[in-house]
């Protein structure tokens, strides 16, 4: 291969890599924009959603980036929304009350032990204890 041909291949390769990087960046921005608005501030904040495929994909992709993820579904596996959630901290850890507007909630909360109570609009209730810290924790609730 001549030096001119090598230069052309190198130039085309750089263009292809730049195009791939731009496309990957655009996909990342698209995934972030598909996320619903965060609520709360500081050490305790949350976002709930996952309705629609774009939002669901964005929420699920972000699960490992947050200390606590909550999943809500019916016994048959169908997603469930409009769930009242009360997260009670032990040993001085903060508490949080929210209404899950979608089947997935991402919760940024300090490390500690928590009890999560989830109640559907029909009155079905479930409770789980979790320890947050040292990686992402997922609590699944099936009603």
Q: What is the pLDDT of residues 32-60, one digit of tens each?
A: 568 899 999 888 999 999 999 999 999 99
Low-confidence ranges of the chain (pLDDT < 50): 7, 9, 11-14, 16-31
pLDDT value of residue 33: 65
- Read off the DSSP letter of residue 49: E
pLDDT value of residue 49: 96
The rounded distance, in Å, linking the Cα atoms of 115 and 100 is 16
* SS3 assignment, position 11: helix
pLDDT value of residue 94: 85
pLDDT value of residue 96: 95
């Amino acid at each position: 291969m001549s030096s001119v041909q090598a230069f052309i291949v190198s130039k085309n390769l750089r263009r292809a890599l730049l195009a791939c990087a731009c496309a990957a960046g655009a996909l990342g921005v698209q995934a972030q924009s598909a996320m619903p608005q965060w609520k709360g501030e500081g050490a305790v904040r949350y976002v709930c959603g996952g309705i629609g495929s774009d939002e669901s994909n964005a929420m699920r992709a972000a699960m490992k980036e947050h200390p606590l993820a909550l999943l809500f579904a019916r016994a048959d596996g169908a997603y469930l929304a409009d769930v009242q959630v009360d997260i009670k901290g032990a040993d001085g850890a903060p508490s949080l009350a929210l209404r899950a507007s979608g089947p997935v909630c991402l919760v940024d909360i300090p490390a500690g032990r928590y009890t999560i109570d989830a109640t559907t609009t029909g009155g079905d209730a479930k409770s789980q204890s979790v320890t947050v810290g040292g990686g992402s924790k997922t609590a699944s609730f099936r009603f």
